[in-house]
Chains A and B, each alone.
Chain A
Amino acid sequence: MTPAISARDLRKVYPGDPPVVALDGVSIDIRDNEFFTLLGPSGCGKTTLLRMIAGFEHPTAGTLSMHGENLLDSPPHKRPVNTVFQSYALFPHLTVSQNISFGLEMLGKPADEIKATVDEMLALVKMEAMADRQTSQISGGQQQRVALARALAPRPRVLLLDEPLSALDFKLRKEMQLELKRLQTETGITFIFVTHDQEEALTMSDRIAVMNAGSVRQIGQPRDIYDHPAERFVADFIGDTNFLAGEIISTENGHAEVRLTSGKTVPAPAPEETQSGRKITLAVRPEHAGISAGNDGLLSGDLREVVYFGTDTHFHVALDDGTAFVVRRQNRPDVASDLQAGTRVSVDFPPLTGQVLRD
């Protein structure tokens, strides 16, 4: 099946002194009907990539196609793609419903069809009561919803969303996350969603591309990326992670036997190219590790601090090799925590819960 959007080696260099490399060889295939998320820190090139798909930026090099057809030669108004802009970009001289009908009018749809679609969109984003308001007279969250309705109304094949939920308060944000996900499933429109909120990315996406400094570091399903981060940046950016030094003793179809600095060994998934004898970094999630008093675990060290967080407790351990390690344990009222700062502890994690990182 041809991908909905296919990018190959996209490069974008903004001229200047020095020139800014916003995209440094990005290749992505986005499938039809997919909820695809671009996740990465500020300035990593997410908006640039989105604007390139919409047609507002031209790549310095590389190709971009949609359903197998070259996109780069068509101007923005000929691309069957709509955008929810990071700044909304609602038309200030038009009302809410005029904003929503704009795309349909430009497509030359008949008046009754436009009216029906606008009503449907207004209902969808729960803005019926404000249809005739000026866009300057509605709140930030409402503007965001109008921007969403305006972009959805023409039923594009691909919808680009540039941090569409960033201005909403926590509760409305959660609500809109579910709403967006439902919309995407119902309409079957391919969503390309930009965010720098990792939790948002994990809960909503079919697949995530983690970006850093203009390049894609890893593409995969949320669970895949969380459980098997390919490299240090990804492991660190998504969720909290402990990094342990180790050495590969042996490898066997995707698994490696890793010797830790304590001398003990543990099996962990590893990238295919991993070779025996290599010094590597092992990533271990705080919630996958356990802690107990004593000296005979996989790793041992001194408990430095115990921090209570309501749902869970964080134990900060200084391992014997000097590495800092955090263990997170879910709190239960019937289980009392007996560990005190200053005690000697051992830290364990089950086989195959760590991940050997690419270096």
Chain B
Amino acid sequence: MAEGTGFSIHRQPGFTAIAMLCFVLLYLPIILLVIYSFNAGNSIAIWEGFSWRWYQSAWENEQVQEATVRSLIIALWASVISTSVAVLAALATTRTRKFKGQSAVFAMINQPLMVPEIVTAVALLIFFAMIKVATGYTGLMYLIIAHAAFCIPFAYLPIRARLQGMDLSLEQAAADLYATPFQVFRRITLPQLWPGILAGAMLAFVISLDDVVITEFVKSAGQDTLPTYMLGQLRRVVTPEVNAISTALLAISVAMVIAFTVLSKMKN
């Protein structure tokens, strides 16, 4: 490219400074959080040397253990359910003839992205309260269903993207070779859709894992997940144990996001 032709954002004055500032604001707090999770002292602000003690303490904390297991169970079920629904929804919105109200369906699937989370949370609280009164059931199912619902759009988007990028003539070739619509899906579509499905499921898993607002509203007594437990802790004494748990969560999320990126770029 010749000098001085066209608009280039990184030659605008102040661009570098603003970019740096954004980076610092985004990452400095997280870096500090990670650093202080290794603090040997009791403070989250005064460095007293390196130690694993808060990791050990979190590991041995029974409440943390319970919350972790609960979080994982909910995230697992929520991602399985939301991904299954998302696959069906993605097929319906990409593999059928255009039908009336298709964009309405699309909007409904993505509703959790647009409706403020707090509104959904309140609505679910009221709705589930009614069911609780009627049935007496107070188990984890409410949380699982709530999480599954708001995870659907996150699972849906990568699956839909993959379906749209797929060569339609492959499915036609299979139909041409006597495969019924179900066989086409089983033998041709699904094997190629796997990366999208895995990516969607992981995204749903991570989203479920760190949800606070809806969980806080929907959970019954003693149903803390890791994030709501941490929130509760922060209201009392703040020790680097919270940093340690956060860092562990961060590690899981980063691992998932990396896997997600790799999978969505994977061809076939």
Contact = CB atoms under 8 A, between A and B. Distances in A.
Contact of B175 (A76, A90, A151): A76
B169 to A, nearest CB: 4
B170 A106 contact: no
A76 B172 contact: yes
Interface string B185-212: 0011001100000000000000000000
A91 B188 contact: yes
Contacts of B187: 102
A92 B191 CA distance: 10
B183 A93 contact: no
B175 A102 contact: no
Interface in A37-81: 54-56, 75-78, 81
Interface magnitude class on chain B? 10 to 19
Contacts of A78: 178
Contacts of B88: none
A77 B172 contact: no
B62 interface: no
A75 B181 CA distance: 10
Contact of A77 (B167, B180, B191, B192): B180
B33 to A, nearest CB: 43
Interface residues of A, number: 25
B268 A92 contact: yes
B188 A89 contact: no
Given A91-B170, A92-B192, A81 B177 contact: no
The SS class assigned to the B binding surface is helix
B3 interface: no
B192 A93 contact: yes
For B172, B175, B178, which residue has the most chain A Cβ atoms within 10 angstroms?
Answer: B178
B179 A106 contact: yes
A75 B171 CA distance: 13
A85 interface: yes
B30 interface: no
B4 to A, nearest CB: 41
A276 interface: no
B170 A56 contact: no
Given A77-B178, A77-B179, A77-B180, A85 B192 contact: no
A75 B177 CA distance: 12
A103 B178 contact: yes
A87 B174 contact: no
A159 B22 CA distance: 62
A129 interface: no
Contact of B177 (A55, A93, A103, A136): A103
20 contacts: A54-B172, A77-B175, A77-B178, A77-B179, A77-B181, A78-B178, A83-B176, A90-B173, A91-B173, A93-B192, A103-B178, A106-B177, A106-B178, A106-B179, A106-B183, A107-B178, A136-B268, A150-B177, A151-B177, A154-B177
Interface of B: 167, 169-170, 172-181, 183, 187-188, 191-192, 268
* For the complex of A and B, 9 pairs with smallest distance between CB atoms: A103-B177, A89-B173, A106-B178, A89-B169, A76-B175, A106-B179, A77-B175, A93-B191, A83-B176
